[in-house]
A and B are shown apart, each in its own frame.
Chain A
């Protein structure tokens, strides 16, 4: 289709889901552009040609013309029928993932994404997929509405807290594509980004095998990966920089002042309470924004995270 409006779209990385979308968009753009040009030219031409000559200008009495009315009702009607059918066909394809699609589970939360694989591997804010094979994401939210949007693939689907939704694509080449959250979800909505990384089939399998499922490694290593997968780092920096919540750097053993005026020293019990019941104590200068991780983190997980935080000294 025409290249006139190609600059408006990002490079298409998943032709199986996006080619029909691009084509119908180009068609609408071109037809609209022609009609808009016609209307604009007519407006300017009439304004010049029929400019008022004097206050006593007589104008002819033209009340209506049924033939003209029917023409400009029926032609647009036919055009929009074409567009409807075209869009419907492309959309139906988006709604029906191929049977051989590779399934990955997505969990969205304020403000990040966790991707889980069949073998138990989990990874935060990065989804690795095999190129040249359809991939189906089965998604659910842990809190509010989110939406999974990959412009390069022309796909988008809201992620709901009470049921699963699904979306599919097929990246043809190796490469990275940007994921956005497109359903407004609060303070860091605009930081709720992720990346799709497409590998060749062999590289993908190798990558998947490398991912340990959280069983191996030292407690500190496990803690570090949990902090990333569970999205803690979206709000709590590990380098002392200012984010939505207090930084993890130097947190352990730090003297903190609470919003109610009391002070305490951050120890194991305080961190544990802050993970399970975040609204119990709020550090001065911060909002009560965090959701409880009760049920999402086991006692062992929490111990691992505390061990990791201990290593982050000033």
Chain B
């Protein structure tokens, strides 16, 4: 285990508002980009998910305090995401590569 932190981290109100405001702005950006900027697929999805990932990082790191917390909790979150990705990617190996049998008569 990592060394114990007796002082719980306390964010300042300014920090929290800064994170919140960034999240609001990112929400507006993602809507504007999706609705008014023509990005060829699949990069439109990539853009939307990237913005969502940045937002998720901000929430996890600063609202959920992972940035100052013991590293094990962050590791748990990362592990959950890794297992989710494994689940989806291996399932896609089946669903995307199925062999179409066509009867000849």
Chain A 172-207 against B: per-residue CB contact (8 Å), 1 yes, 0 no? 000000000000000000000000000000000000
Across the interface, name the chain A residue whose C-beta is closest to B105: A118
Interfacial chain A residues near B104, Cβ < 8 Å: 103, 138
Question: Which 3 pairs of residues, A with B, have the shortest CB-CB distance?
Answer: A164-B101, A138-B103, A166-B101
Interfacial chain B residues near A166, Cβ < 8 Å: 101
The CA-CA distance from A164 to B98 in the complex, in Å, is: 11
Across the interface, name the chain B residue whose C-beta is closest to A119: B105
Interfacial chain B residues near A165, Cβ < 8 Å: 101
**Which A residues lie at the B interface, using CB under 8 A?**
103, 105, 118, 138, 163-166
The CA-CA distance from A204 to B100 in the complex, in Å, is: 29
Q: Known pairs A138-B103, A163-B100, A164-B101; list 10 more (Cβ under 8 Å).
A: A103-B104, A103-B105, A105-B103, A105-B105, A118-B105, A138-B101, A138-B104, A164-B100, A164-B103, A166-B101
The CA-CA distance from A26 to B102 in the complex, in Å, is: 36
Compute the total of residue contacts between A and B using a CB distance below 8 Å: 18
B101 & A103 in contact (Cβ 8 Å cutoff): no
Interfacial chain A residues near B98, Cβ < 8 Å: 163
The CA-CA distance from A103 to B98 in the complex, in Å, is: 21
Across the interface, name the chain A residue whose C-beta is closest to B98: A163
Interfacial chain A residues near B103, Cβ < 8 Å: 103, 105, 138, 164
User: What are 10 sample pairs from A and B whose C-beta atoms fall under 8 A apart?
Assistant: A103-B103, A103-B105, A105-B103, A118-B105, A138-B103, A138-B104, A163-B101, A164-B100, A165-B101, A166-B101
Interfacial chain B residues near A163, Cβ < 8 Å: 98, 100-101
Chain B 62-105 against A: per-residue CB contact (8 Å), 1 yes, 0 no? 00000000000000000000000000000000000010111111
Interfacial chain B residues near A103, Cβ < 8 Å: 103-105
The CA-CA distance from A164 to B99 in the complex, in Å, is: 9
Across the interface, name the chain B residue whose C-beta is closest to A138: B103
Across the interface, name the chain B residue whose C-beta is closest to A103: B104
The CA-CA distance from A267 to B100 in the complex, in Å, is: 45
Most buried by A among B100, B101, B102, B104: B101
The CA-CA distance from A9 to B105 in the complex, in Å, is: 35
Least distance between B104 CB and chain A CB atoms (Å): 6
Interfacial chain A residues near B101, Cβ < 8 Å: 138, 163-166
Least distance between A243 CB and chain B CB atoms (Å): 32
Interfacial chain B residues near A118, Cβ < 8 Å: 105
The CA-CA distance from A105 to B104 in the complex, in Å, is: 10
Across the interface, name the chain B residue whose C-beta is closest to A95: B99
Least distance between A104 CB and chain B CB atoms (Å): 10
Across the interface, name the chain B residue whose C-beta is closest to A117: B105
Least distance between B102 CB and chain A CB atoms (Å): 7
Across the interface, name the chain A residue whose C-beta is closest to B103: A138
A164 & B105 in contact (Cβ 8 Å cutoff): no
The CA-CA distance from A94 to B57 in the complex, in Å, is: 48
The CA-CA distance from A307 to B101 in the complex, in Å, is: 39
The CA-CA distance from A118 to B101 in the complex, in Å, is: 17
The CA-CA distance from A103 to B104 in the complex, in Å, is: 8
Across the interface, name the chain A residue whose C-beta is closest to B104: A103
Least distance between B65 CB and chain A CB atoms (Å): 40
Least distance between B98 CB and chain A CB atoms (Å): 8
